[in-house]
Amino acid sequence: MTNDASTGYIDPTREAFARFREMDRPGPVHMLNLVRFREQAAYDDGTVATGAEAYSSYASESGPVFKRLGGRQVWIGKPELMLIGPQSEAWDIAFIAEYPSKDAFVAMLRDPEYRKAVRHRQAAVADSRLIRMEPGIPGTRFGAMSEGDQR
């Protein structure tokens, strides 16, 4: 699938994935997911489903791989309003997935069971954003990554 503003961003580019793999710091990686579903899923084999139904299939099939590799969902919510930002960027679901390391995320993408499940995600998603983040410490000073953060 292509990734551009006219068709939506579905999969990482080779260049972005290479940069992801080069970022080698210890500790967990948080991935912020913003997802907009297609009204009707776009399966190559003609399977009929809504985008939400196809994404649910993706979650059901990829979830065991995610869990086996040490992943966990840190937060999930349903976006209601774009208060600041392009009004065209409406999302159906937002969540943060935590992986114990960048290698765990890479292992998931290469796992044979995950590779079978990802067809549902590709059929379901009209547009998405996937943002790698370094976790901070919740409950610290507002807007700070840690108590000692002077930003």
Q: Examine residue 142 and state whether it is found in any structural domain, yes or no.
A: no
Q: Examine residue 11 and state whether it is found in any structural domain, yes or no.
A: no
Q: Examine residue 54 and state whether it is found in any structural domain, yes or no.
A: yes
Q: Examine residue 109 and state whether it is found in any structural domain, yes or no.
A: yes
pLDDT tens, position by position, 47-56: 999 999 999 9
pLDDT of 136 higher than 60: yes
Contact 110, 44 (CB under 8 A): no
Nearest-angstrom CA–CA distance, 143 and 151: 8
Q: Examine residue 47 and state whether it is found in any structural domain, yes or no.
A: yes
Q: How confident is the model at residue 1 (pLDDT cuts 50, 70, 90)?
A: very low
Q: Which domain holds residue 99?
A: 26-133
Q: What average pLDDT is seen over the chain?
A: 92
Q: Examine residue 144 and state whether it is found in any structural domain, yes or no.
A: no
Q: Examine residue 74 and state whether it is found in any structural domain, yes or no.
A: yes
pLDDT for residue 145: 74
Q: Residue 33 is part of a domain; what is its CATH number? A: 3.30.70.100
pLDDT of 149 higher than 50: yes
Nearest-angstrom CA–CA distance, 147 and 64: 35
pLDDT tens, position by position, 77-109: 999 999 999 998 999 999 999 999 999 999 999
The total number of residues written for the chain in this structure: 151
Count of domains for the chain: 1
Q: Examine residue 77 and state whether it is found in any structural domain, yes or no.
A: yes
pLDDT tens, position by position, 12-48: 999 999 999 999 899 999 999 999 999 999 999 999 9
Nearest to 77 by CA among 41, 134, 118, 34: 34
